[in-house]
Amino acid sequence: MLRAGLPILSVMRKQIGASLPDVIHTHGLWEPVGHWVAKWAQRHRVPLVLQPHGMLEPWALGHKAWKKRLGMALFQRSDLDAARVLIATAWQELESIRKLGLRQPVAIIPNGVDLLSPLCPGRPWQRAHERVRNVLFLSRVHPIKGLMNLVQAWARLAPRGWRLRIAGPDEGGHLAEVTALARRLGVAESIEYIGEVDGERKSAAYLDADLFVLPTFSENFGVVVAEALAHGLPVITTRGAPWADLETRRCGWWIEIGVEPLVAALREAMALGDDERWAMGERGREYVRRFGWAEIARETAAVYSWLLGMGPRPECVQVT
């Protein structure tokens, strides 16, 4: 791995040296490239901004824990300590960062969402009243996403006139476990795997759905929640994701992790009329405008300016 990475190291040094950056902003943890960039920043006294992207959440640290502990001891802790500013996507991630004893300023800046195409006027509720309605799961097909709980909840409800559509890349063969459970519980015929989707196919999957569900165990942000809201979908997700505003903004359900809470939320959501779900979706579309890329870019640029002594501390920066 190290030998394969050496050409990257050489190119990286040339690119950074040629650009003479005022700030270096790195994304993610545990990779040699990120460590090399952090060391370059320290050596040349360039302020380092580090964005963990949920990799310091308890569930993430517990996955392949011995490797994470070794990496933390060898290089990752020193890189984290060297960062002048850390970026979290939500208050929940900030709390996880502070629990590790990291005390530098943390900017809370959510992930951005492309709002141009999804924010189209209305949704196609004019289709036949008798049509099959869709609950959509769109994310990685991975144990952390809670699909086994979702299939169990689906089997408990056995909803007539509804179909569960699963979209996303299969990781580690987890899809086979999900489909085996669906067959064992007798609900395989009402569950459809549509594969990995992107671009127009992803947007079409959202627009063809009536409800979005992400029953995750842990999420630093959950960009698919924002995407679903941008497409006018009511959302069900767990307290493993930082989306309390679903309830306060009346555009979804923010539930405890587990089968029983999923059963209750799905039952309530599917019992609503199309017009009620549409109204929830419209409130979600309005709320999610704050996650547009223009606003995210403005907040990030403000953090850079403050870090360089060229502007006031932005409201998104937490210093305690």
| Residue spans of the chain under pLDDT 70 | 1-10, 12-13, 17, 116-130
* DSSP β-bridge partners for residue 186: none
Element housing 83 (H / E)? none
Q: How far apart are alpha carbons 68 and 82 in whole angstroms?
A: 18
Looking at residue 310, its pLDDT comes to 95
Q: How far apart are alpha carbons 274 and 262 in whole angstroms?
A: 20
Phi, psi of 170 (to 5 degrees): -80, 125
Q: Which CA distances in Å does 286 have to 200, 266, 280, 290, 292?
A: 22, 23, 10, 8, 11
Residue that the structure tokens 């190291």 belong to: 9
Looking at residue 260, its pLDDT comes to 97
Looking at residue 30, its pLDDT comes to 92
**How do residues 125-140 score in pLDDT, each as one tens digit?**
445 455 899 999 999 9
Looking at residue 5, its pLDDT comes to 54
Strand boundaries in 66-190, DSSP class E: 85-88, 106-108, 133-138, 162-167
Q: Are 272 and 250 in contact (CB under 8 A)?
A: no
Looking at residue 117, its pLDDT comes to 47
Looking at residue 209, its pLDDT comes to 96
